[in-house]
């Protein structure tokens, strides 16, 4: 276990925390919980206008997963960050205008660690889809489908993705911080964020399970190693073996800012339910993760998913559909369908 924590492979050493985003996304956004738009989404939305859509996107995700495995957690984190700020409208993919004082979401401090592989995966899929079905499919739907594909490619569940989202026109860095959870959030803080998005206590625990793969930078958990809650001591609830391994990778001072550690120290490259067993064994990486196994409201759910992978998989697909309906835009009055996901039409 120590080796998996202290010496991530070079291909992942520059990786961003996939899960932290998950959490991030789960717990953030402004009051964008629409109750009507998601009912207008449908699995067969593009059945006539672009019947080969899922196959086209699948050809990109499968290739990307082979060549750049980090594309999986990077894209899922991207989806969460998108949905929790302005809703699931691909506003996270818009680039800041050169010379403008108003930065786009992508350039917000809380998004600085988003991996480029996630953006690249969306760009490639969009280019292919546009070549076959020009002007038909939104970037927001492509991102939602890719997130599902990568979950499945990594060993997770395959679930149907409802489609029909339009791309949002608003992308402001200033709206990110208040909608993205921090790594040291308490369960109360997490629940407050989730509730603001129309998500429940169980949704919080289920979506946090996306931390079953992906990585986090040292700065996300460093306080647990050296100064937990201002105590000048490490978090007493962290397994001593994990603490030693993480301290080797993340020294208190002078460490490499690019070093990362896996959220799931047992099966870091696989989408499974090991995350929950790790929490029970005090092997959670983030304070916000470990808190889920301690709070009496969330602990029973953690225990249930630790025992039953099938139950977690089924719940995860349902929760992803629910999250994917946050703040959905429909029609030209509220959105657009960008040909280049990084630029407004």
Q: Token pair 């995966």 is at which residue? A: 121
- Tell me the binding residues: 82, 85, 87, 89, 91, 105, 181, 211-212, 264, 267, 272
DSSP-assigned letters across all residues of 258-326: T-EEESSSSSTTS-SSHHHHHHHTT--SSHHHHGGGTSTTTHHHHHHHHH-HHHHHHHHHHHHHHHTTT
- Tell me the binding residues for Ca(2+): 82, 85, 87, 89, 91, 105, 212, 264, 267, 272
Give the Cα separation of 103 and 177 in Å (integer).
13
Give the Cα separation of 255 and 226 in Å (integer).
13
Q: Cite the DSSP H helix spans in the chain.
A: 2-6, 18-26, 37-40, 53-67, 71-84, 116-132, 139-153, 187-196, 201-208, 222-226, 240-249, 274-280, 287-290, 299-307, 309-323
Is 81 among the catalytic positions? yes
Phi, psi angles (nearest 5°) of residue 168: -80, 155
In eight-state DSSP terms, residue 166 is B
- Find the catalytic residue in 81, 152, 217, 273: 81
| Beta partners for residue 216, in sequence order | 261
Which two tokens mark 19?
């899960």
Give the Cα separation of 312 and 23 in Å (integer).
16
Q: Token pair 């919980």 is at which residue? A: 33
Tell how far CA 209 is from the center of its chain: 10
* Catalytic residue positions, numbered: 81
């Amino acid at each position: 276990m120590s080796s998996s924590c202290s010496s991530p492979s070079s291909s992942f050493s520059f990786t961003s925390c996939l899960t932290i985003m998950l959490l991030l996304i789960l717990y953030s956004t402004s009051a964008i919980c629409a109750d009507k738009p998601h009912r207008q989404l449908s699995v067969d939305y593009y059945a006539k206008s672009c019947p080969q859509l899922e196959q086209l996107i699948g050809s990109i995700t499968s290739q990307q997963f082979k060549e750049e495995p980090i594309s999986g957690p990077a894209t899922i984190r991207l989806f969460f960050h998108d949905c929790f700020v302005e809703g699931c409208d691909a506003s996270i993919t818009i680039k800041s205008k050169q010379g403008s004082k108003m930065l786009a979401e992508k350039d917000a401090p809380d998004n600085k660690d988003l991996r480029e592989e996630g953006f690249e995966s969306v760009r490639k899929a969009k280019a292919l889809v546009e070549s076959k079905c020009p002007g038909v499919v939104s970037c927001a739907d492509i991102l939602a489908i890719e997130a599902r594909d990568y979950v499945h490619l990594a060993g997770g569940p395959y679930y149907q993705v409802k489609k029909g989202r339009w791309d949002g026109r608003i992308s402001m860095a200033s709206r990110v911080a208040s909608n993205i959870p921090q790594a040291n959030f308490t369960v109360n803080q997490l629940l407050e964020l989730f509730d603001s998005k129309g998500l429940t206590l169980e949704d919080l625990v289920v979506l946090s399970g996306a931390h079953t793969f992906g990585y986090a930078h040292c700065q996300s958990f460093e306080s647990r190693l050296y100064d937990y809650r201002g105590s000048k001591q490490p978090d007493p609830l962290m397994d001593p073996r994990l603490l030693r391994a993480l301290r080797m990778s993340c020294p208190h001072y002078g460490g490499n800012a690019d070093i990362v550690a896996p959220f799931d120290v047992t099966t870091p490259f696989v989408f499974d339910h090991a995350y929950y067993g790790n929490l029970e064994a005090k092997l959670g990486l983030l304070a916000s993760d470990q808190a889920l196994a301690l709070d009496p409201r969330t602990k029973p759910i953690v225990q249930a998913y630790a025992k039953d992978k099938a139950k977690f998989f089924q719940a995860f697909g349902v929760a992803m559909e629910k999250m994917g309906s946050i703040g959905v835009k429909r029609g030209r009055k509220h959105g657009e369908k960008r040909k280049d996901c990084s630029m407004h039409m």
